[in-house]
Amino acid sequence: MKTWVPSDAVAEVLSDLPGVECAVYDGTSSMPKGIEEVEVWIPPLVTVPDVPGTLARMSSLRLVQTVTAGVEPYRPHMPEGAVLCNARGVHDAGTAEWAVGAMIAVLREFPEFVDAQRRGEWTYHHTGVLADSTVLIVGYGSIGAALERRLEGFEVEIVRVARSAREGVHGMAELPRLLPQADVVVLLVPATPDTAGMVDATFLARMKDGAVLVNAARGGVVDTDALILELKNGRLRAALDVTAPEPLPEGHPLWSAPGVLITPHVAGSTPASGRRMLRLIKAQLSRYLAGEQLINIITESY
């Protein structure tokens, strides 16, 4: 079974599976030969060039197993007869940990204190605090649940929102009513046509003065220009692990906007995610070889 994998580490973990022939393709090196024979493709973390063209040439493809929770580069271009699965659960710990750290950093003004430290200035003053806050999680799935577990000791109220309402979780239709109550709004929604640009000027205007927007989803979920306006007038603050555009180019006004903490899409880039990714891939391909039901299959409802 010809399998393209993103790294030598993945090839090594699959080396004892019978009949699996691995070729490493990380998107930066030359494409291996035999693309028409590839049955399983595990793309790298950073999207390879020309995904549509690559998938179109994989005439034997039966499974794409991503190492990311997001599948937007692949989903619209999947060939007939192939199954798409994501890495749900792999990045939960890292992303949830980043979100907690980011919201605390912004509320307690850590970036400003670091700047003062570099200037050698003792800038004592009161700051915000996470305790007694309302944290609104928009896109409450496995990462949202992991975030809630990590927030249990911080004395906050959690409000959950997902695409569809269920017990204890509000539906998206209730979001306009819930936004003005939140001190922190955490975005964890997938990138879909429905979520593209959902955090627009109207969404941001509904957030309370002084609230913090935390984006650990995708940059395209947020209208960047609308956010910059809110940051410049000092009404909102933000912590962004993702941006639109991405990577954020030199000189972009978001770099110099006040009240924003930016990290370069690193929330899930941790050793824990790496270990969990290897375990998931090994388990998934073992299921595939045994003809068992695969996990994390992407359906129309995502």
Active site positions, annotated: 218, 246, 265
Return the closest-CA partner of residue 128 out of 211, 222, 250, 18. Answer: 211
Taking alpha carbons only, the member of 246, 185, 222, 190 closest to residue 68 is 190
> What whole-number distance in Å separates Cα of residue 279 and Cα of residue 282?
5
Q: Report helix, strand or coil for 249.
A: coil
Helix (H, G, I), strand (E, B) or coil at 186: strand
Residue 83 forms beta bridges with which residues? Answer: 63
Q: Which value, to the nearest 10 degrees, does the dihedral of the CA atoms of residues 153, 156, 162, 166 take?
A: 80
Please give the backbone phi and psi of residue 158, each rounded to the nearest 5 degrees, phi first: -100, 130
Residue 220 in contact with residue 197, Cβ under 8 Å? Answer: yes
